[in-house]
Amino acid sequence: MALRIKQSIINATEFRSDGLGVLASIAWAAETVGRYRGTVRRGDAAVASFELEVDKGGAASQLDIDLNDLAGASLGGARAARRFQVASAEGQPAYVQFFVSDGPGGYQVVIEGAKANFDSRSLGPRDVFTTVLVRPGLYTMEHKPSGAKGEIAVERLEQSEKGYEPKAHQVRVTARGFDPPRLAIRGADGVVFAVEGGGAVRVRLAKPEPDEKQPPRRRLYPEALRIKGRAAGETSSKPVGKRPAKPR
């Protein structure tokens, strides 16, 4: 069976607009026509670059750029900068949306042009940060630099709920904090942050809901795993495994 589950999705517990990973995206509202040059960074290192052309009056007003794909192509030796095009509809900005399909993430994006700039480390008033929260539990949301905090409770989506349509929940982020400061959503729902005061948003799983009991693992070769019952006279100078220290 050719099947690989993206562990990055299963393990994702933190979502940052200033360090983009899986299940999170940032949309830049490109309101000015022109040519731009973009750089994708992870930490201090530039991992990919691209060219972007924003036109006026076209059909495609949304452009999705997979940063994992872009960084992977650069690692693979692609030297030429990738070129992207997007067009703004009448009275609407063009949206350039950055997301990460897989991998560890932690990307920042900087776009520079003659008339406009974008830096994912500090979002602008029309930029949008979106997360998809799939794992049930209690999440904290935090805005930097204001330090405002809020909570998101994610309810487990049951297997019997067939055909559930995930919803998008809007959260305004202003100088006074999150609005609403608390929200309850269901697994696979999205949370859309409109960051009106600039800055960055971080969402973190603070208290995961305990998972259902997993079936016991089948021991295929019990004799190979046996520790007790060692043959008489056989000694071992090294401990097997590491015993956790007892709390005092």
User: Which residues form the interface with other proteins (CB under 8 A)?
Assistant: 1-6, 9-10, 22-23, 25, 27, 61-62, 64, 66, 92, 95, 97, 99, 101-102, 128, 130, 132, 134-136, 156-159, 161-164, 166-168, 187-188, 190, 192, 209, 211-212, 214
Nearer residue to other proteins within complex by CB, 76 or 241: 76
Nearer residue to other proteins within complex by CB, 62 or 117: 62
> What is each CA distance from 219 to 122, 143, 222, in whole angstroms?
51, 47, 6
Tell me the C-alpha distance between 130 and 193, whole Å.
6
Helix or strand (DSSP H, E) at 111: strand 107-113
Shortest distance, position 39 Cβ to other proteins, whole Å: 20
Shortest distance, position 53 Cβ to other proteins, whole Å: 19
Shortest distance, position 128 Cβ to other proteins, whole Å: 6
Q: Are 41 and 67 in contact (CB under 8 A)?
A: no
Nearer residue to other proteins within complex by CB, 153 or 157: 157
Shortest distance, position 101 Cβ to other proteins, whole Å: 6
Shortest distance, position 95 Cβ to other proteins, whole Å: 5
Tell me the C-alpha distance between 154 and 186, whole Å.
5
Nearer residue to other proteins within complex by CB, 149 or 207: 207
Tell me the C-alpha distance between 23 and 101, whole Å.
8
Q: Are 192 and 130 in contact (CB under 8 A)?
A: yes
Tokens 């076209």 label which residue?
Answer: 58
Nearer residue to other proteins within complex by CB, 162 or 248: 162
Tell me the C-alpha distance between 190 and 169, whole Å.
6
Shortest distance, position 238 Cβ to other proteins, whole Å: 32
State the DSSP string of 82-102. EEEEEEEPTTS-EEEEEE--S
What are the structure tokens assigned to 127, written together?
A: 């930029």
Nearer residue to other proteins within complex by CB, 48 or 96: 96
In terms of Cβ atoms closer than 10 Å to its own Cβ (0-12, 13-18, 19+), residue 75 is exposed
